[in-house]
Structure 1
Amino acid sequence: MTLLTTATHFAGAVAVGGVRDAIAGAPVADRAILVTVSATSAEGQALDGSVVGEIEAALGATGGTIARVVRSSTLVPIAGGPVGADGLTGLASYEDLALHAALTAGNWPEPGHSPRQAVVRADVAEELELSVGDRLSFQDPRADGPSVDLELVGLWRPDRGDAYWVGPGGDESAPDQPRRLSPIIPFDDLAVAAASPRLDIEWRASVALERLEIADLPRLRSALARLQAALTGALPSSVRPTVRTALPATIAEAERSVTVTGAGFTALMAQFALLGGYAVTLVAGFLLERRRSQMALVIARGGAGRHLSALAAAEAVVLVVPATMLAIWLPSLIVPAIPEHVALGTSVGAATAIGSDVLIVAVASAAGAVLGFMLPSLTVRPDAVAIQAALARPARRTLAQRVGLDVAVIGLAALGLFQLRLYGAPLVRDARGALGGDPLLVVTPALTLLAGSILALRILPRIGELAERAVVRRRSLVAPLWARQLARRPLRYTRSALLLMLAVALATFASAYASTWARSQSDQAAYQAVADARVRGSAGDLPPWSVGAAYRTLPGVEAASPAFFQPLRVGRSVTDGELLAVTPEAAARVLTQPVAASTSFVPLLDRLAQERPTTTAQLLADRFDRLLVTLDVSLTALTLGGDPLAAPPWLAVEVTAAFSDGDGRIHRLRAEDAASSEGIGQPISVLLDRAAQDGPLDASYPLALVGIELAVTAPPGASDLSGTLEIRAVEAGESGSERLEPISLAALGSWRWWRESQFERGPVMTDERALRIVIGDEGLPIAAGSSVDHRLAAGQTVPGPVPAIVSEGFLDATGTRPSDVILVDVGGEPVELAILESSSLFPPLDPDRPFVIVDTHVLSLDWYADSGNELPSVEWWLALDDARASEVAETLRGAAGSTDVSLRTDVARSLAGDPVALALIGALGLGALAALLLAAIGFLLSVGVAIAERVEEIAILRALGASRREVGDWLTVDGGVLLGFGITSGLGLGLLLAWLVLPFAALTQSGAASVPAPQVIVPLEIVLGVLIVAGALMMGLLLVVWGQLRSQPIARILRDADA
């Protein structure tokens, strides 16, 4: 009973602590409330009561803090004074600033001084070279009023992560916030100093997490979602309040976590209740066996069944009431101590008050215990003859077996397992889409445990019958006697074996759950992080073509691979798919293979690399950084009537070269110079500028030329153009080299010309001179005033579709199969795919969405030829030296623009450190240990009771000539077989339960299915532990058996039996 109430209280504490930690750990913008209005000082004071009242009504009984921030209009410095990095300056007043910031120098400002006292944020002051004692002067550029003179009396820094610092631009305490000079002065001074009558007024609110309870979440989420409407209705129509808060979404996420936690603890408590209920029934059965003769005496003297029931009820009340009081009181002592010994987070166990849920569980457990104590006596016929018959020939089947309840339990467990496999998790969504635990699915583990025990107990008597047939003709005493007893009196054995079996099964399941959960978190981290590090965001000031080489040369980086994500559509069959483009060779070196993944990813990448088609791209020399394009240009500007325009030659043609690097990425570089509208042999250089402050930049070699673009522009006043463009020569090499290597014009002649303007896009037909484009009357006209690109692009040697690996969901949605060709939409561009094979998983893609994996080399060239664009949305996957992973992450995070660097170890640590899941595992482990202890005591008690029940049989055997050793061996074998059967069956049942249930357990914080699916892990330590327990129980068995035999006076027992 104490186990159930403690688990209930622990579950509540874990849920409350988990919710508080989740909200406290969320970004400032996701856990704070910001209300803003624009009003005069007088209007703001009038509005304050209404705004604060609505915020307090939304917070409800939970309460929280509300602080006001007032800002003036933008000011400009006088006489070249300092301004912020964004060129803006403004006065502000922060209520209770001293409670949410720390002074680094000076003092906090006081009102009423001249000049007015002000404080400035320390990092802004350092950047602007300001110090305490400096004088600042500002004025409003839109007003002719007097200037604002300030004296800097202090410098301060904000408390990082405090919800107080939620501002219109996000977290004001973050170091990457804009460095705006915003002197803070007292509100009384601000109201006078502001030149403009209108002020920006903010109310910043946060929830009092120490008072937040689970029951408050739905109401708080709903009230905050309605806060905008409530404020609009409460304030005058001329005032337009704005509410900024993501707290409802954060609360909704926390509620999902509570649902997952509740389902896990309910399943856990169902198993504890099963074990405790049977333990009570076992004790009641022992009492019944010991008192059958006394009950017969009560019936013989005129007693009735109600008297027996009353005696059993009185006895149960005497035992249960003190146990209930302890069960209600002890959790308040046990739960608060748990965080001191178990790493579950400081908030776990914070709720020490006993709630109504604990009282309900205690009362229900007490009622069940009373009923359990009374149940055996209720099944006894109030008939002395029947009682004597039961003493002479005990029943072979229990009441549950006789009425078929065991079959019903097995059927219910089978139904639960079927539905669990059908839904994939114990959590389902109702008709409104709300996530909740299905009662049958939640208790399915307990039902499976009970059903397995029932099946095992039906086997035990059959084992006795077979053993009796095998050994009945032997001359020894021990084996035939043990086999006959087991076959004739199975209930004497099964009731003891069941408790041991349940405890061992629960311990095995607990160990498998903990190991499976830990492995699943590691696999989920490997799948989500893809590699040792996942970098999203720009690389600062580095040119795109140098990023790959820059990452690969970082100390600690062993390999790097780019990845591109694009939305994928296929008609109406696939509307939310995703395409991933990777470089197969590079990706294979960085991908982390989850242990539980059913698919090996490297062979898929090898298949993509093998199917890569050859192209007409022209490979460039190593260390290439200069391309020289020689053009012949002859263009004439035409008027609207088609006559030549009297205009001097103009810069008509801009040249851009496209290169493919070793990762398959395409980079476009534009020449600084343009070609004239008239000229033969005009050289235009395209440079790869490798100069950098820290040394020359490198590209991801080898590079290949894949395109030359000629952007033709008409001069002012022209309505059309006519003439020709022709590429006479293309040469490549290093800037410092006097000699450039020519690129074969014949090879470029196999490329295709594409034309793109604001009106059309498509291929262009050329004459016998493949590198010449005819413009105007002899070719395609250029619209007046527009620029038209002519792109000469490489392609596949033999044009064909893009090889692809697709998900099984993609095949199902599109009705395709491997070897099919299908046209898809990738980011708005049509792409033809050739399906090579399918895969159920590929990191980090969601297997529930159709996905496609292609080779970056192939897709980027196809994309460029059709659209002239590079693949967007690049991120980088890095393989790191484990010893330097943190150093690499800090380096990348310090680079401007590298906003998101995820280390696999950090993701794994975050998942494996979930306090709610650890609490569930801890409770399951502690419950399993308690169950083993209870089962061990119950087993030894049952052995002692069984020997006490057989004292007359033992005395008769001794009188007939059986030695003490033979009798001892018989009792030892009797108990040893029971012990072995209970241990072995429990171990097998626990493994079966783990195999049936764990693949569908909620092993994620959100309750969603784990990706990849968990692999059931059974540690060998549990087998070793069970063997140690079995050995200890065997030693206890020997002590009990031989201790009781030595204390039995045979002669007195026989005389008492005759009497």
Structure 2
Amino acid sequence: MLGLVGRRARAQWPLLAALLAVVTAGAALLGVCALLVTVSADRAREKAAAAATPAEIEVTGYAVTVARADVPSVVADTRRVLAEALAPFPVAMSGRASSVMRPLSDGRIGYLSGVEDLPERASLVSGRWPGSTDEAAVLEPTARLLDLTVGDRVALGAERARDPAPPLTIKITAIVRTKPGAGWDRDPLGGTGFDLAYRGASALQPAEAYGPFLVDYPGLLSGSSALSRLEITARPDLSDPDHRALARIEAGTLAADRRLSAVLGERVQIERVGSALPGMLAEARRQQQVTTAAVLAVGVLAVALTAAALALAGRLTADVRGEETALLSAMGASRWQLGGVAAAEAGLLALVATVLAVPLSSAVHVWLGGDLAVTGAQVGAVAAGTLLAILVTAGGRQRPAPLARSGADLLLVALAAAGWWQLTSQPDTAQTRVDAVRILSPALLLAAGCVLALRLVPPALTMADRLVPRTRGLPVPLAVVQAARRPTAAALLIALGCAAATFGVAFDATWHRSQRDQADLSVGTDLAITLGGAPAAGQGAAVAAAVGGTVAPAANRGVAVGQWLGGNGEPPRLVAVDAHRAGTLLRGGGEDWAAVGAGLAPVAAAEGITVPPGSRITVTGRATGAVRLATTPRLILQDPTGLRTVCSAAATPLDGRPHDMPGCADGDGLRLVAVLLPVTSDAFGWDATGDSRIDVTVTIPGASGGGTWTAASSQPYPEQLREPAITVSGATLRMTATVELGGPTEAARQVVATSFPDPGVVPVAVSRRLAEQLSVSPGSELQVTVGNTPVPVKIASIVPGVPSAPGSVALLADLDTLSRALLARGDPQMPVDAWWVAHPSNAAASAGLHLGEAHTRTGEALRLTTGPVPAGLPAVLRLLVPAAVLLLLAGVTLHVTCDLHARAVEVARLRGLGMRRREIRTALIGQHTIVMLPLLAAGAAVGALATWVVAPLMIRSELGAAPVPGIAPVWPWPAELAVLGALTAGCLIAVAGVVIVQSRRADTAHLRVTS
């Protein structure tokens, strides 16, 4: 019997070769999918970690209130804990520390700081870097306000601590300027150099604070001073990470906080380890799970297509060998002998297919952009696929009855309907688990659609048979008759293959379109530069000069809406931009942002007073009565980009003498739009009586403009400052008010003079999610807390999503109007977090500004479509279409070959009746063409329907939530027509080739065999 296997293989090698090709292709597909969800998934997370920004991988240990005797040991232990948490990766460490406050002269306070890599975080203006703890560098604002120059000496008193260090006199060796994005926001004074109303944790009254006085970092950590705060930052080298090591440092970083607390014990008051690294790694893992689910869904579709091809191959093989098997049984071969022959042949076929499929799947994985690898999961998937394929093809000739087939079709349709219902009912929130419904539903829906479409093909062919014209020629009527009456075993494969190919092309286009839409709304504009520190006047001009385009300040921060802080750790987001330019600046969401912005923008611009560059601004004030009063004036200056900054002066006594405000007129195009005059005195309190009339004049030489100014008293307790008024005349602004001496000390007692009226309620547009969660509608009023200032807002419109806050509970406001509302309530800070740029000509130049992280729409779209984590989905889609085409063509070739093999006698009889070979070939090609064209059309229709019905439900955001904005299905006509044309041409070529070869073999020998 084994000899029979060899002889039959030699005689039927074309059939076995086609069967081997289909089995190998199906097994290789399984191997590729296994590699994509294992090797590629692990490598994608490794690449994502290697591409992370420094801020995402830094691990920082914090310690608060360290006694000077414990400083060296606390530093050493903190470094050790961080190094252990990040093992086995090499770690680079840096640190910064600030001492407790020390008294300066005139009731002021100051502090020492040490920065390990100071030359990289600040630039010298004059002098040299300090080399010991009795030498210091100061920031420019500190030097200006304290009138310090290089060579001056500053006396700092004893520390305010339990074990105070003695007084210290330091020599100023340098005046420095902070570099953007260098971490100065973590300085006690935020890198501003001063705070005229600093209130420490244990201070009863605010005080003027100045610093840092930057001393030698190792000297500060030697135990010479107690520390108010210590930061040590570790940066692991993740340039070539391993996914197992990444899992280890993720766990180590999460446990580092508890470990540091146990190690430091009572030596510090507060300790903490903070890092975005575990979150970044967890996010990459969640993104990979989302990608894996989509890859598996497409992979199951490819496997379903392969199963259809294998079922066809098994059926055709059984048909070809049916008479042979019957003859062997008649000659005395037992069932065990026949089974042994079949098992030997199947085993040999499975072995060869496995040997071929393993390297083939590895090669295809490399072609898709993965690494060359052979894994156990891959080999197991290939072997399992091969075994299942052989079992499918060994099913014999038994076919289910028509009633059973109808029941199976109905069951398939029911399962597809249930899967679609499950897809439509999936929640909008993040779902990262691999869901069997999401994986199986696309294949079920396509298969069910093809099964239903196939029900329509036979009636159409039967109708064509009845309507065929009675022509004198035989080939055309014969082709129609045979098409209507011959079995169409390959019908499901043809329809499903065409549906899978067209759906794969459309799904790929829809997915890419969705990623671009998500990128547009995620960034919110063409270029967003998130600031690492406070913005400065003239910064917008520098951005415009570097990158070009339209530049505007923007806010994007978390806020509280009334008492509501959001849910699931996600605070409401407030986005504020120049609403007049919303149509130019904003991107994404498919909204008419110009129309939305028109409902938010103020009617008139803030005119203000022009401030000539280099003007010597002075403040002169007087107060009645014997109580000594002072003010710390704050000038609100607006630059040409709309950015408002605060220029402050030290406490200025109201003594009738002019006092300079240096550094306020250093930029071009500045306009003074508001003045805040908080009045201070040690005499304020409940025991004081009487009041004092103040008269303060701000003089700006060369100023022009004016407009209408208003004056008010700000919260809290605005009644403590009565009758505020302002008069603008040329270069001077004169403000008067009556200050109540008695009353609460926490009263603001502040004159707020503005060049615009109080806007009252700020109009906002809110996201649909916020409107649904708070049950609000246009016209509803809310209260939003910006920083510490509550601002009333009124909903002007509802939008699906707010730019730069997709899917979030978010509000969109005009930045100018918001700033006016804050100023009217005594808050001088404009809430600016970023620079937004529309139509930049050189976005890459933003990196050279060192202002913070820069994101572009195009860059974000590139990350979402070609990044290491989502790359698996485009890869498997690139595999699906050619696999569908090849399997379809292989099935068609196999079907036509077997059909003509079975009809060889019929063809010989036609030749015997005098029909020419050309006419026979025309009839045969026409028969198969008439069958294939409607099947291809039906498959394309099913693919199009699936694109509209299924594709939007399969696509999720990178974190597994419903994408915002919603999905717009894409049917790329040029690509789809190209695929349909390739399928049609390929099928015709395959049919014609087989017909030409097989028709030549049909001769009188077949008639002799039959007779």
Contact 1:664 1:860 in 2 (8 A): no
Question: Residue 456 of structure 1: which of 453, 456, 462 is its match?
Answer: 453
Scaled by the length of structure 1, the TM-score of the pair is 0.70
Aligned-pair Cα RMSD in Å: 5.6
From the superposition, tell whether residues 422 and 305 of structure 1 become closer, same or farther in structure 2 (CA, over 3 Å).
Answer: farther
**What are the residue-to-residue correspondences of 1:402-481 with 2, within 5 Å?**
402=406, 404-423=407-426, 429=431, 435-471=432-468, 477-481=474-478
From the superposition, tell whether residues 586 and 210 of structure 1 become closer, same or farther in structure 2 (CA, over 3 Å).
Answer: closer
Q: 2:382 maps to what in 1?
A: 362
Determine helix, strand or coil for the equivalent of 1:720.
Answer: coil
Question: Residue 1042 of structure 1: which of 962, 974, 996 is its match?
Answer: 996
Distance in 2 (CA, whole Å) between partners of 1:587 and 1:285 is 64
Question: Residue 43 of structure 2: which of 13, 17, 36 is its match?
Answer: 17
Question: What is the Cα deviation at residue 233 of structure 1?
Answer: 8.4
Question: What is the Cα deviation at residue 841 of structure 1?
Answer: 1.6
Q: Write the letter of the residue equivalent to 1:507.
A: A
Q: 2:300 maps to what in 1?
A: 270
Question: Residue 922 of structure 1: which of 848, 861, 875 is its match?
Answer: 875
1:252 is aligned to 2:212: no
Q: Write the letter of the residue equivalent to 2:818.
A: L
Q: Write the letter of the residue equivalent to 1:590.
A: L
Contact 1:806 1:838 in 2 (8 A): yes
Determine helix, strand or coil for the equivalent of 2:395.
Answer: helix
1:892 is aligned to 2:849: yes
Distance in 1 (CA, whole Å) between partners of 2:263 and 2:661 is 64
Determine helix, strand or coil for the equivalent of 1:989.
Answer: helix
Question: What is the Cα deviation at residue 438 of structure 1?
Answer: 0.7
Contact 1:724 1:775 in 2 (8 A): yes
Distance in 1 (CA, whole Å) between partners of 2:535 and 2:789 is 29
From the superposition, tell whether residues 782 and 660 of structure 1 become closer, same or farther in structure 2 (CA, over 3 Å).
Answer: farther
Contact 1:416 1:444 in 2 (8 A): yes
Determine helix, strand or coil for the equivalent of 1:935.
Answer: helix
Q: 2:834 maps to what in 1?
A: 875
Contact 2:617 2:701 in 1 (8 A): no
Question: What is the Cα deviation at residue 255 of structure 1?
Answer: 2.7
Question: What is the Cα deviation at residue 667 of structure 1?
Answer: 4.9
Q: 1:64 maps to what in 2?
A: 88
Determine helix, strand or coil for the equivalent of 1:423.
Answer: coil
Q: Write the letter of the residue equivalent to 1:417.
A: W
Q: Write the letter of the residue equivalent to 2:844.
A: S
From the superposition, tell whether residues 288 and 249 of structure 1 become closer, same or farther in structure 2 (CA, over 3 Å).
Answer: same
Q: 2:498 maps to what in 1?
A: 504
Gaps of 5+ in 2: 1-26, 99-110, 136-162, 164-185, 188-212, 728-733
What is the aligned-residue identity percentage?
23
Question: What is the Cα deviation at residue 840 of structure 1?
Answer: 0.3
Q: Write the letter of the residue equivalent to 2:500.
A: L
Question: Residue 819 of structure 1: which of 779, 783, 787 is its match?
Answer: 779
Q: For 1:36-93, what per-residue CA distance to the aligned partner results, in whole angstroms no more than 9, with x for missing partners?
A: 999999x99xx99xx99x999x99xxx836789999x99xxxxxxxxxx988699xxx
Contact 2:645 2:830 in 1 (8 A): no
From the superposition, tell whether residues 475 and 979 of structure 1 become closer, same or farther in structure 2 (CA, over 3 Å).
Answer: same
1:973 is aligned to 2:976: no
From the superposition, tell whether residues 124 and 496 of structure 1 become closer, same or farther in structure 2 (CA, over 3 Å).
Answer: closer
From the superposition, tell whether residues 265 and 87 of structure 1 become closer, same or farther in structure 2 (CA, over 3 Å).
Answer: closer
Distance in 2 (CA, whole Å) between partners of 1:709 and 1:129 is 33
Q: 1:735 maps to what in 2?
A: 701
Question: What is the Cα deviation at residue 1027 of structure 1?
Answer: 0.8
From the superposition, tell whether residues 258 and 447 of structure 1 become closer, same or farther in structure 2 (CA, over 3 Å).
Answer: same
Deviates more, 1:850-859 or 1:234-243: 234-243
Q: 2:688 maps to what in 1?
A: 720
Contact 2:724 2:751 in 1 (8 A): no
Distance in 1 (CA, whole Å) between partners of 2:473 and 2:305 is 38
Q: 1:524 maps to what in 2?
A: 518
Distance in 2 (CA, whole Å) between partners of 1:275 and 1:891 is 52
Q: Write the letter of the residue equivalent to 2:560.
A: L
Question: What is the Cα deviation at residue 959 of structure 1?
Answer: 4.5
From the superposition, tell whether residues 1047 and 816 of structure 1 become closer, same or farther in structure 2 (CA, over 3 Å).
Answer: same
Q: How many residues align?
A: 883
Question: What is the Cα deviation at residue 286 of structure 1?
Answer: 1.2
Distance in 2 (CA, whole Å) between partners of 1:538 and 1:261 is 32
**What are the residue-to-residue correspondences of 1:530-549 with 2, within 5 Å?**
530-537=524-531, 542-543=536-537, 546-549=538-541
Distance in 1 (CA, whole Å) between partners of 2:62 and 2:598 is 57
Q: 1:77 maps to what in 2?
A: none
Q: For 1:589-615, what per-residue CA distance to the aligned partner results, in whole angstroms no more than 9, with x for missing partners?
A: 2233x4xx3433232113323xx3569
Q: 1:603 maps to what in 2?
A: 595
Question: What is the Cα deviation at residue 935 of structure 1?
Answer: 2.1
From the superposition, tell whether residues 228 and 720 of structure 1 become closer, same or farther in structure 2 (CA, over 3 Å).
Answer: closer
Contact 2:761 2:794 in 1 (8 A): yes
Contact 1:756 1:790 in 2 (8 A): no
Gaps of 5+ in 1: 75-84, 91-119, 131-135, 143-167, 170-177, 185-192, 381-394, 430-434, 638-646
Contact 1:579 1:853 in 2 (8 A): yes
Distance in 1 (CA, whole Å) between partners of 2:430 and 2:535 is 48
Distance in 1 (CA, whole Å) between partners of 2:847 and 2:565 is 44
Q: 2:141 maps to what in 1?
A: none
Question: What is the Cα deviation at residue 843 of structure 1?
Answer: 0.8
Q: 1:790 maps to what in 2?
A: 751
Q: Write the letter of the residue equivalent to 2:436.
A: P
Question: What is the Cα deviation at residue 877 of structure 1?
Answer: 0.4
Distance in 1 (CA, whole Å) between partners of 2:968 and 2:637 is 45
From the superposition, tell whether residues 763 and 1026 of structure 1 become closer, same or farther in structure 2 (CA, over 3 Å).
Answer: farther
Q: 2:190 maps to what in 1?
A: none
Contact 1:531 1:879 in 2 (8 A): yes
Q: Write the letter of the residue equivalent to 2:419.
A: G
Q: For 1:624-647, what per-residue CA distance to the aligned partner results, in whole angstroms no more than 9, with x for missing partners?
A: 99799999966224xxxxxxxxx7
**What are the residue-to-residue correspondences of 1:161-310 with 2, within 5 Å?**
212=242, 221-222=250-251, 225-226=254-255, 248-300=278-330
Determine helix, strand or coil for the equivalent of 2:290.
Answer: helix
Contact 2:767 2:798 in 1 (8 A): yes
Distance in 1 (CA, whole Å) between partners of 2:737 and 2:218 is 65
Q: 1:349 maps to what in 2?
A: 371
**What are the residue-to-residue correspondences of 1:140-179 with 2, within 5 Å?**
none
Question: Residue 799 of structure 2: which of 816, 831, 839 is its match?
Answer: 839
Q: 1:996 maps to what in 2?
A: 949
Deviates more, 1:557-566 or 1:927-936: 557-566
Question: What is the Cα deviation at residue 775 of structure 1?
Answer: 4.1
Q: 2:17 maps to what in 1?
A: none
Question: What is the Cα deviation at residue 1048 of structure 1?
Answer: 2.2
Q: Write the letter of the residue equivalent to 1:414.
A: A
Determine helix, strand or coil for the equivalent of 1:436.
Answer: coil
1:863 is aligned to 2:860: no
From the superposition, tell whether residues 600 and 713 of structure 1 become closer, same or farther in structure 2 (CA, over 3 Å).
Answer: same
Question: What is the Cα deviation at residue 567 of structure 1?
Answer: 0.7
Determine helix, strand or coil for the equivalent of 1:1013.
Answer: coil
Q: 1:4 maps to what in 2?
A: 30
Q: 1:133 maps to what in 2?
A: none
Distance in 2 (CA, whole Å) between partners of 1:203 and 1:790 is 43
Determine helix, strand or coil for the equivalent of 2:965.
Answer: coil
Contact 1:529 1:902 in 2 (8 A): yes
From the superposition, tell whether residues 232 and 805 of structure 1 become closer, same or farther in structure 2 (CA, over 3 Å).
Answer: closer
Q: 2:572 maps to what in 1?
A: 577
Distance in 1 (CA, whole Å) between partners of 2:288 and 2:32 is 18
Distance in 2 (CA, whole Å) between partners of 1:406 and 1:473 is 37
1:711 is aligned to 2:668: no
Distance in 1 (CA, whole Å) between partners of 2:122 and 2:687 is 57
Q: For 1:1024-1044, what per-residue CA distance to the aligned partner results, in whole angstroms no more than 9, with x for missing partners?
A: 243134224323433332343
Contact 1:221 1:248 in 2 (8 A): yes
Deviates more, 1:855-864 or 1:310-319: 310-319
Distance in 1 (CA, whole Å) between partners of 2:622 and 2:942 is 85
Q: For 1:379-420, what per-residue CA distance to the aligned partner results, in whole angstroms no more than 9, with x for missing partners?
A: 26xxxxxxxxxxxxxx9x768624x22222222222222222
